[in-house]
Amino acid sequence: MTQSVSTPEPVRTVRKVRKPSLGDRLAEQIPRLVVSPTLLIAVVFIYGFMLWTLVLSFSNSRILPSYGFIGLQNYERLFGNERWTVAITNLAIYGVLFVVICLAIGLLLAILLDQKIRAEGFLRTVYLYPMALSFIVTGTVWKWLLNPTVGIQRFVRELGFEDFRFDWLVNSDMSIYTIVIAAVWQSSGFVMALFLAGLRGVDDSIIKAAQIDGASRITIYTRIIIPSLRPVFFSAIIMLSHIAIKSFDLALALTGGGPGFSSDLPAIFMYQFSFTRGQMGVGAASAIIMLMGVMAILIPYLYSELRVKKDDR
């Protein structure tokens, strides 16, 4: 008679899970604690005030905020206001010229610096220096330069050219172009830096292959390098358009919206109607229209960025 021998069951070792200590939990929460004040401030003082401005644009607010709902009356007053029409027209002129000229000058400067010239670092610093100045300083300096009595006009006339005339600053038909001049001077160096970074990122093997095929330098730039900079063009256009739409301090320091309101921009219109003319509802409506303009630029940009990241995955 055989006797069955039972095999002993394996001994299971139970590992005791160590509970996270107070220090571990605190270390885990520190990044959130550090970021939370900034997030709270952004939510309240950016998005909260955006929502408040939207509410005021539908209210009968005058000197002080009021919450009597009047529908779209402020928007009707806004688009029926001649000064707002002038401001929108000026924004179109200023925005198109500002973006196009900055792109042209920035690309040209970047191509010149890309030729491995001497003192490249010094020249790059010189071109970028205007961007380090505030728009108030830029506007004040250019106001002196363009003043017919003390600026460029007087200087050229003292050289012997008595018939020289450059009075755009006091000419209601040309005053908006003085803002373009000052803005281009300040921002073209920044665009140059963007394009220079893009040029340095172009694959050298493609350029060398084109040189072996006998392509000239002009052909290489126009057919190969510049078309490959389309993402840089797109980013520069987005940033410059955003700067143009919210331009306020430069125009205020340079022309103050004058002569009269001939060089008004939407930001100046919004400020003056909200805080100096006692029409806060109309000013809030103009601010919402400006916000819609900025969103019309940012949304396609964000969509393209997210789509590129999704395609890279």
For residues 255 and 267, give the distance between their C-alpha atoms in angstroms, rounded to a whole number: 13
Q: Which residue has the tokens 């571990």?
A: 24
Measured in degrees and rounded to the nearest 5, phi and psi for residue 69 equal -75, 125
Q: What is the pLDDT of residue 145?
A: 92
Q: What is the pLDDT of residue 87?
A: 93
| pTM of the complete model | 0.82
Q: Which residue has the tokens 């590992």?
A: 15
What are the tokens at 131?
């961007």
pLDDT in tens, 166-218: 889 988 889 999 999 999 999 999 999 999 888 888 777 887 887 787 777 78
Residue 100, SS3?
A: helix
Choose the weakest-confidence range: 24-38, 52-66, 191-205: 24-38
Measured in degrees and rounded to the nearest 5, phi and psi for residue 11 equal -80, 120
Q: What is the pLDDT of residue 1?
A: 47
DSSP string covering 268-281, please? HHHHHHHHTSS-HH
What are the tokens at 257?
């919206």
Q: What is the mean pLDDT of residues 82-99?
A: 93
Q: What is the pLDDT of residue 132?
A: 85
Q: What is the mean pLDDT of residues 305-310?
A: 68
CA geometry: angle 31, 37, 39, nearest 5 deg: 85
For residues 293 and 274, give the distance between their C-alpha atoms in angstroms, rounded to a whole number: 19
Count of CB atoms situated within 10 Å of the CB of 254: 26
The set of residues, in sequence order, having a beta carbon less than 8 Å from that of 172 and lying 6+ positions away, is: 258, 259, 260, 262
The domains of the chain, with CATH numbers, are 81-312 (1.10.3720.10)
Measured in degrees and rounded to the nearest 5, phi and psi for residue 150 equal -130, -5
pLDDT in tens, 232-285: 888 898 889 888 988 898 999 999 888 888 889 999 999 999 888 889 999 999
Four-CA torsion 31, 34, 36, 39, nearest 10 degrees: -110
Q: What is the mean pLDDT of residues 62-69?
A: 86
Q: What is the pLDDT of residue 8?
A: 57
What are the tokens at 116?
């491995």
pLDDT in tens, 104-131: 999 999 888 888 777 778 888 888 888 8
pLDDT in tens, 125-151: 888 888 888 889 999 999 999 998 888
In the 8-state DSSP scheme, what is residue 170?
G
Q: What is the pLDDT of residue 221?
A: 81
The set of residues, in sequence order, having a beta carbon less than 8 Å from that of 164 and lying 6+ positions away, is: 153, 156, 157
Nearest alpha-carbon partner for 53 in 42, 41, 67: 67
pLDDT bin (cut points 50, 70, 90) of residue 295 is confident
Residue 13 pLDDT more than 80? no
